Homo-oligomer: A and B are copies of this chain.
Amino acid sequence: MRITFDETKNQLEKVLLKYGCCGEHAQKAAYEIARNSLEGVYTHGINRFARLIRNIGEGIVRPNEKPETIHTFGGIENVDGRLGLGIINAWHCMGRAIELAKEHGIGLIALRNTNHWFRAATYGHQACDAGMAGICFTNTIPNMPTWGAMDSRIGNNPLVFAFPHKGGPHIIADMAMSQFSYGALELARLQNYQMPMAAGFNRNGELTTDPGEVIESRRLLPTGYWKGAALSFVMDIFASCIALGNSTAAIGRLAGDEHGVSQCFIAINYKEIAPGNTPDGILEDAIQNLISSKKDKNTQRIVYSGQKITETRAENLLKGIPVDDKIWEAILKL
């Protein structure tokens, strides 16, 4: 089934209003969630919406709370998300980082007590659209063992690096610290295929490409093995210790679904570092060099990270957003 962007957005907004969300927050959250699906990030768009509504019902997402500034010092600021909507809080914080970067060249916001921000790249795009480079990351509930461990004590903590590209789609790396998500593994198990590379460990502690074995062992593989495990832990420490919020360890002790996470947002007003100069030439040269790489026989096209968004967006605007029938029917009944 395909649904237009406007129909999607309006339906999500209607449901959010029904569940007690104020008009301003409902409009913004619905827009961003629909946009995630429009741009091809289905797992962090429509497909996650029912869980958000469930979390509102459970009281762990409080849709009308507003982020509260705790303290500002120069270009850094501490914000309490008061368990509000993750999208509203994160958008506010990257917006503040951009404001602080206008004055200080760089701004950093540490956010505590917030909720799932849906698509990490949203806030990278936000910085880029304001003409700034952006870095942001979040911690999560424990969902992955650290390197050499059996039990899940680190999060898959997505990380974003984003740089504006005037001539086309922004350059945005948006990566979770697990090689594959449980969502991807569950889809593979359902459709009965193996992952293209090791996705985790089986019950015997051996690397496996079998999605069912990893789901059974709960031993998801960190991105780059020990490397992703290390980066996940340090990002968790950054976000929780700077924000004075929950670490992944603390989130794991809270009752119920994931909530109360910690995040970090950095905006870099890089144009002010060299007034009168522009990196446009450096950027275009690097892009051209990359995308003209010699292709592997199995590769159709070499792209930079973020490049395909414009095309997916254009196609889904034209044809409608592809939606799983059952997921859409469930949303219509909410």
A residues bordering B, Cβ < 8 Å? 70-71, 73-78, 103-108, 110, 133, 135, 145-151, 153-154, 159, 161-163, 171-173, 175, 179, 197-198, 201, 205, 207, 223-225, 227-231, 233-238, 240-242, 244-245, 247-250, 252, 266, 268-270, 272-275, 277, 279, 282-283, 285-286, 289-290, 293-299, 302, 304-305
Contact = CB atoms under 8 A, between A and B. Distances in A.
Contacts of A74: 75, 103-106, 272
Ranked 7 nearest A-B pairs via Cβ: A76-B105, A241-B279, A223-B224, A230-B305, A148-B299, A149-B293, A249-B289
A169 to B, nearest CB: 13
A150 B293 contact: yes
B225 A197 contact: yes
26 contacts: A73-B269, A73-B275, A76-B104, A76-B105, A76-B106, A76-B269, A104-B105, A110-B273, A150-B293, A151-B293, A161-B234, A172-B234, A173-B230, A175-B224, A205-B296, A229-B305, A230-B304, A233-B286, A233-B304, A237-B286, A242-B279, A245-B282, A247-B282, A247-B285, A247-B289, A249-B290
Given A148-B302, A175-B227, A247-B282, 12 more contacts: A73-B275, A75-B106, A76-B105, A76-B106, A76-B272, A148-B296, A161-B234, A175-B231, A233-B286, A236-B286, A242-B270, A248-B286
Contact of A73 (B149, B273, B296, B299): B273
A244 B277 contact: yes
A288 B159 CA distance: 24
A179 B273 contact: no
B146 A302 contact: yes
Interface SS of chain A: helix, strand, loop or mixed? mixed
A139 to B, nearest CB: 10
A286 B247 contact: yes
A133 B135 CA distance: 15
| Chain copies in complex | 2
Nearest to A102: B74
A117 to B, nearest CB: 19
A76 B273 contact: yes
A19 to B, nearest CB: 32
Contact of A205 (B231, B282, B298): B298
A268 B108 contact: yes
Nearest to A298: B205
Contact of A104 (B104, B225, B249): B104
Contacts of A154: 290
Contacts of A151: 293-294
A279 B175 contact: no
A163 to B, nearest CB: 5
A78 to B, nearest CB: 4
Contacts of A153: 289-290, 293
A278 B181 CA distance: 34
A253 to B, nearest CB: 9
Given A151-B294, A198-B197, A298-B148, A133 B242 contact: yes
A237 B273 contact: no
B78 A75 contact: no
Contacts of A161: 231, 234-235, 238
